[in-house]
Structure formats: structure tokens, C-alpha cells
Amino acid sequence: DGSRDDTRNTISRYAAKDVRVKAYRNDGNKGVVYTRNKLLALTDAPYVAVADADDVCRPERFEKQLEFLEQHHKVGVVGSAVDFRGSIDGHPPSRSFYRDDAQIRFFLMFGPCIWNTTTMYRREHLVAAGGYRDDFTSGASDYELWSRLAAMTEFASMHEHFVLVNLHPTSLTATRTKVDSNIFRVSATMLSRYLGIDVDANLARDLHFLMVRGGLTKVPCLAALELAELLVMTAEARESGETIEIFKSKLAEPVWTQARYHAYSERQLSMKLALFAASLDRPSAPLNMIKLLARLASPSP
């Protein structure tokens, strides 16, 4: 894709030694969406794997994922766990991931929950889905693709750590704000489909901030709280007990944080948040409630 380093020569040397390796070159930098769609059109291989720039695949990655797909015919997308080298602002991103289809499908509604650089696909599904969308060139093209593939096939993630992800200040992970708006667009579409109501990108964003302890003002916080309550109620009717418990545990502490955040300025909202958090995590409720009541009873700072 117009690389200015030694990529072209390196690939050409391998192609000269092994007929399975084929080298192609864009006329200048065209971007990841254009390039992946071009490569998808150039190959007739039954499986397609993604390997992002700067990341390192373990030697056994493709062999093991190929075996997995050949043994699990309903799965069309398989990822894996990852290791990190480096950090962003001193902290690596979350290592949490979900292995089975039901959990991946559920948590995909809230954002990317598998690592793109670990994915291997059945090519037939990528072709049927129409490949990557041109209007997601600014980021989250993989996440948008997964939202469409979720209606066509099953997902899985292997527990082995098959990829080493290199983190640095200019990596896409580090420049998340550039792709956030696309993520919220896709999340809103999936939430709408799951709940049978209209969820817009702004509400999906507010739900995200509720779940990551971001400070929300009263109106968006109330809207995000109502959406979270509806999601829990809907999940309890549809999802496995394990998925529900994971979801509740992910929600509880951020909602307590929001309750404490609003304790001085919006006390009624603070209590609504606290009661919801207490219903999510009953064992921690007494101590958290005592701390909140102490704050509510004290004068504003």
C-alpha cells in the first residue's frame, strides 16, 4: 500500500522462493479499506487472515486457526487472545475477550470485543457481506464488517495468545478518538436491532461513557441509565446466566462511580444510579451504599 520502507523488496524475495507467495503493489497509498477489498478480489483461497502492520503473529497461528475452522463448520470468524508490547499512557488496553459466539455477539453491541489483527475468516462470508465499506476509511471498518457478519455466521476466539500487538503513540489504538464516531454509529445499529427500538449514535456514545466511568451530565446520564436498564432486562430473557453475570459485573462499578459523581449536584439521580448498581451487584451493595449515603449527607465540597 505504498510503503516507503523495505516491505516491497522483502515480499518479493519470499515470492521468488515460494510460488504460494504473490506480491501486489498499489499506485501510492490507498488506505486499508481499499487494499483489503482489492486483496479479497485477488484471492480465491477459502480462508482469509488479517495481520496488521507492526503486530507479530506466532509461528503456529495460521495452522491452529485453520484447524479450528475446519473442525467448527458453523464458525466463520475466529480470533485469539493477544499479548502486548509497550503501552499507551503507561497502560496497555484491556486483555478481556470472549470466547464463545453468544458472548461475542452480545458484547459486540458495545464496541469491538475481538482483536482485528487476530482474525481469520471464511472468504465466502466476506464476499457475501460485500467486503469492507468505503465510508469507514477513517476507522472501525473491521467493527462495521463484524456487525454485518453477525447476521450470517458464528464467531469464536481461541484462548491461545497467537499475536503480539505493538503499542506506540501513533498506533490506531492510541488514536481512538479518530474512530469513535464510527464505533458509536455501528454500536447504535446493533443496539437498535437487539432491542427493537431506535438507538442513535449519541445515545450509544452516552452508554459507552456510562460503562467506562466517564463523567456524564444529568440528561445524557438519565438516558444512558434507562438504556442500560432495558438492556439488562432484555438480556435476562435471552442470554445465558454467565453472559448476564459478566454484563452486570461490567456495569456495576461504573454505575456506582456515576452515582458518586452526581452525589452533590444531582442527588435524586445519584440515588437512581445507586439502586440500579445495587441490583447489579448485591454483595458489594451494602458497603457502596453506606459510602454513597455518607457523601449525600455531607455538605457539597
Round the average pLDDT of the chain to a whole number and report it. Answer: 90
pTM greater than 0.85: yes
3-state DSSP call for residue 76? strand
Q: 90: phi > 0 → left, psi -120 to 50 → alpha, else beta; which?
A: left
Q: What are the tens digits of pLDDT across the range 77-93?
A: 999 999 988 765 555 56
Confidence of residue 174 (pLDDT cuts 50, 70, 90): very low
DSSP state letter for 53: T
> Mean of the pLDDT values across residues 90-102?
70
Q: What are the tens digits of pLDDT across the range 18-34?
A: 999 999 999 888 999 99
Q: What are the tens digits of pLDDT across the range 175-209?
A: 566 789 999 999 999 999 999 999 999 999 999 99
Q: What are the tens digits of pLDDT across the range 208-227?
A: 999 987 779 999 999 999 99
pLDDT score for 89: 56
| Interatomic CA distance for residues 130 and 15, integer angstroms | 29
pLDDT over 50 (residue 73): yes
Pairing between strand 56-57 and 154-166?
Answer: antiparallel
3-state DSSP call for residue 196? coil
Residues 6+ apart with CB under 8 A from 206: 216, 220, 221, 223, 224, 227
Q: What are the tens digits of pLDDT across the range 111-152?
A: 999 989 999 999 999 999 999 999 998 889 999 999 999 999
